[in-house]
Amino acid sequence: MTNSSIGAWRSVSPAIHLCVLQPHGVSVGLVAGEQRAALIDCGSTPEQGTALLERARSLVGVPVNHVVVTHPHHDHWFGLAGMEDVTSIAHEDLLRDPEPEVLDAAAAIGLARLPAPDETFSLARSLDLGGVRLEMLHTGPAHTRADIVVVVPGDDVIFMGDLVESAGDPQFGPASDTGNWPRVLDDALGASSEATRFVPGHAPAGGEELTVDREFCFRQRAEIAMVQGTVEGLVYRGVALEDALGFAEWPFGENTMRVALPLIYRRLAEEGIEPRRHLPLV
C-alpha cells in the first residue's frame, strides 16, 4: 500500500503500548500481561497486519495471540487477514451489511473475502492476559453498528475506536446512529475516572499525543448530541435538508456536516419524523 508504515511503539503504562499505522493514522494498542498479549485493531491490509504482528511479538516477552477489532471499517480490521496463530474477537455484527467503503477497500486490494473473527459477543466479553484484564463492551450502535470499547481497568486506559476522534471531526457513515452515539459515550465515560486516558481511533498529524482525557470525551459527546438535537429542531421547524447547513453554527467542519446532515435527516424520516409544511401566515 502506498505510504503504508508502522510507527514506533510508545508506552503509556508498563502493560500498554501504542503505535500509529499509516496511511490512515490509525492508533493501535498492544496490551501485555504475564501470560499473553493482545492487539487492539490490526491495520488496513493483510501485509500491514503481518508486519504489525511481527513488530508486536518482538516488543513483548509473551505470546501475542489475541486481536480485538473495535469496529468494521477496513483501516482497523483488514490486517487480520495477514495474521496467523491469533484468536480474533469482535462484535457479532462485524460482518453484517458491510458499508460501501469496506467493500470498495476490499476490492482495491484484491481481498476476496472479508476477514471473519474467531469469536464474537453481543454485549460484553472479558479476556485475562495474566495480571492484566481486558473488558470489551458494546452498548449499542453509534459510529457503526458494531462499535466496542476496550477497557483496561488496572491501567485506567480505554480504547475507544472511532467513537472519539482527536485527529479531526468524528466521522459519520451510512451505519452511524447519531441519536444513540452520545448514550454510548456516556456508558464509556461511566466506566472512567478523572485519571482515565482514552485512546481515540486516529492520531493527529504529527502524533504528539496519542491519548485524550475525560474532558475531551465529554466535549465531543456534547458536540455530537448538539448536532443531533439541532437537526431534530430544524426538522420540527420545517427546514429542508438542502437548507440545513446554513441554519446553525455547527461544531464540525462543512465537509463533515455535508455527510452527517443527510444521514440524520434520512434516519429521522425512517422514524416518521419529517420537515413540516407550514402555510404562510400573511
Q: Where are the domains of the chain?
A: 5-270
Q: Which of 215, 216, 197, 217 is nearest to 10 (CA)?
A: 197
Residue 190 in contact with residue 196, Cβ under 8 Å? no
Query: At residue 207, does pLDDT exceed 60?
Result: yes
Q: Please provide the average confidence, as pLDDT, over all residues in the chain.
A: 95
Q: What is the pLDDT of residue 206?
A: 73
Query: At residue 1, does pLDDT exceed 50?
Result: no
Query: At residue 127, does pLDDT exceed 80?
Result: yes
Type of residue numbered 90: A
Quick check: pTM over 0.85? yes
pLDDT bracket for residue 208 (50, 70, 90): confident
Q: What is the pLDDT of residue 272?
A: 87
- What CATH number does the domain located at 5-270 have? 3.60.15.10
Which position has the higher pLDDT, 280 or 183?
Answer: 183
Which position has the higher pLDDT, 274 or 184?
Answer: 184
Question: Hey, what's the cell of 231?
Answer: 437537526
Mean pLDDT within 43-55: 98
Query: At residue 25, does pLDDT exceed 50?
Result: yes
Query: At residue 281, does pLDDT exceed 50?
Result: no
Q: What is the DSSP letter of 169?
A: S
